[in-house]
Structure 1
C-alpha cells in the first residue's frame, strides 16, 4: 500500500486553479460585478483609513478598531480577488505551491482575525452603552493596542498549522477545482490520509469563530436590555439602529461561513460551483459593507470624509 502511494505521488511546484469547472463560459460576465465590488471594497476601506489617519478628532479607540477592521478587509481582498480576476481575464491559472499555501494561511488567519475584531468592537459598544461613565478608563489606546496584539497573535498561531499540514502532504494531482487555495480543495488532491488535517481545521474554525459569535451575542444582549430600559425620546431608536446594523452584518459574516460548511457537506445535492462562488463573495461583500455600515453611518466619520473631500 505504501509503495503504491509513493509511486503515484508527484512533486508539485505549482497548482492550477480551475474556477467554476461546469460554467467556464460565463466567467467573463461574472468578472464585471466582482471587479466593481472589489473597487468598492478597496475604495471604501482606503477612504476610511485615510479619513481616520488625517482627522485628529477621530484618533480615538473606537476608530482605531475600525481602522484595524479596514486593514484586515483590504488584505483579504488583495489576497484573493486579483488572482480570481487574473484567471477570468487572462486565463492565468497557475499558482506556485508557496503562493498557494501563503494564500491559504492569510485567508484562514485574517478571516478569524476579522471575527475576533467584531468581538472586540461589540465589547467596545457594550462598555459605551452599558457603562458609559467607565468607558474612558476601560477603552483606552492601551486597550486597543493589547486587543490588536491578541487578535493577531491568537488567530495567526492557531491557524498556522493548517497550511503547514497541507504543505507536508504528498500530492497525486495539481488541478484545484476552485478559484482560491482553500485547505479542503488543496488537501483532497493528496495521496495521504487527510483526516487530521480536516479535523484540525474544523475544530479550530468552530472554536475561534464560535466563541467570538457567542461573546458577540452576549454583548448585544446586554446592550439590548439596557437600551430598552432607556426612557429618553429617540434614544432607543438611535441605539437600536446603530447596534442593529452592526449585529446584522456580523450575522451575515457568520451565516456565510455556515452556508459554506453546509454546501461542502451536501456536495452531492448542491452543484460544486455554489461553494466556490460563496467563497469568493465572502471575501468581497463583507469588506464592501463594513466601512459603509460601521463608518459612513457614523456622524464623526461622515464629517471627516466631508473635510477630506474639501481638502482634495
Structure 2
C-alpha cells in the first residue's frame, strides 16, 4: 500500500507514474511522506523538531568553541566530548533540514543519490556516536580505577588513534549500505513512508531480492550495538567494583557523580535507538506514525540534550560557559 499525503501537490497521473514505473536504469527521485497518518498536523510537529535542531546546533557549537579556546579543557574527557559534539552536529544536520522541509513546506522529493548519501551519513555517524560513548566509558574507567596514571594511559596520541578507529569503523561498516542498494530494482513504489531516507524503509520498496540487504543491516546493527553495549557494561562493572571498595559514602557518591553525565547520555542514545530498531523489524502492531516520530526524535533528541547534560553536570564546562557570557 502506497502512503501519500492528502495535501501533496503532485497530480494523480504523476503519482501513478512514480508508483508504477520501473527504474532500474533511470533512478528518479523518491517521495518522502513525512509522518504518515499525521499529514494534517505535520506543521505543528515541525515546531518541536525545529526547537530540537536549534538546540543541537547552539549547544554543540558552544561545546566545541569552549573546549577549543580553553587549553585547560584539553583533557581526555573533554576531547572525547568535542568528538561527540562534532558527530552530533553532523547527525542532526543530516536529517533535520530535509525533515523540516517535508513537514513545513511540503518539499517531499529527494533525489536517489541524495537519499543514499543521507542514509549513509545517518547510519555511519550513529555508529561513530556509539563508538565515542565506548571511548568515554573507557575514560571514566581509567579515571576511577587508575587515577594516578590517567594522563599517562590516555595520552593525546592514543586519543587521536581512538578517534580515527571510531571514524574508520563507521565508514567501513556502512559503505556497503548504498553499494548494496544500487543492485536493487525499484519497480512499484518510490514513496517512502518516512521523514528521511532510512535504510530499511528504502529496502522495503524494492521488488527484487533484498535478503542480503536485510541480513547485512541486521548484522551491522547487532555487531555495533552488541559490541559497544558489552564494552560499556564491562567498563562500568569494573567502575562499580572499584567504587564499592572506596571507604565512606561521600567518597563513593563523588566517584559515581563523575559518571552521571555519561550514563545519562548513554540512556538517551541507546534506549530510543534500540526501540526504533526493534519496532522497524518486529513491531508489526506499533502504529507506523509512532515509529516514524520516534525514529526522527532519536536523531534529534541526543544531539540536543547531550550539550545540556554535560553543561549542567560538568563543572568545568558550566563555569567556562558562564564566564564567556558574563564577559560579553
Question: CA offset at residue 14 of structure 1?
Answer: 1.3
Q: Give unpaired runs (5+ residues) of structure 2.
A: 1-19
* Structure 2 residue 131 is matched with structure 1 residue 124: no
Question: CA offset at residue 232 of structure 1?
Answer: 4.4
Whole-angstrom distance in 2 between the partners of 1:252 and 1:89: 27
Give TM-score scaled by structure 1 length.
0.94
Question: CA offset at residue 294 of structure 1?
Answer: 2.8
Higher mean C-alpha displacement, 262-271 vs 215-224? 262-271
* Structure 2 residue 77 is matched with structure 1 residue 80: no
Superposed counterparts of 1:1-312, under 5 Å: 9-10=22-23, 11-172=26-187, 173-232=189-248, 234-312=250-328
Deviations 1:63-122 (A, max 9, x none): 111000000000011000111111111110111111100011001110010000000000
Q: Is this contact kept in 1: 2:261–2:314, CA < 8 A?
A: no
Q: Is this contact kept in 1: 2:136–2:262, CA < 8 A?
A: no
Q: Is this contact kept in 1: 2:276–2:295, CA < 8 A?
A: yes
Q: Give unpaired runs (5+ residues) of structure 1.
A: 1-6
Whole-angstrom distance in 2 between the partners of 1:8 and 1:195: 23
Q: Is this contact kept in 2: 1:52–1:304, CA < 8 A?
A: no
Question: CA offset at residue 58 of structure 1?
Answer: 1.0
Higher mean C-alpha displacement, 196-205 vs 244-253? 244-253
SS in 1 for 2:122: helix
Whole-angstrom distance in 2 between the partners of 1:226 and 1:293: 25
SS in 2 for 1:16: strand
Cα RMSD of the aligned pairs, angstroms, is 1.6
Whole-angstrom distance in 2 between the partners of 1:60 and 1:249: 19
What is the number of residues matched between the two proteins?
Answer: 306
Higher mean C-alpha displacement, 134-143 vs 253-262? 253-262
Whole-angstrom distance in 2 between the partners of 1:306 and 1:192: 57
Give TM-score scaled by structure 2 length.
0.89
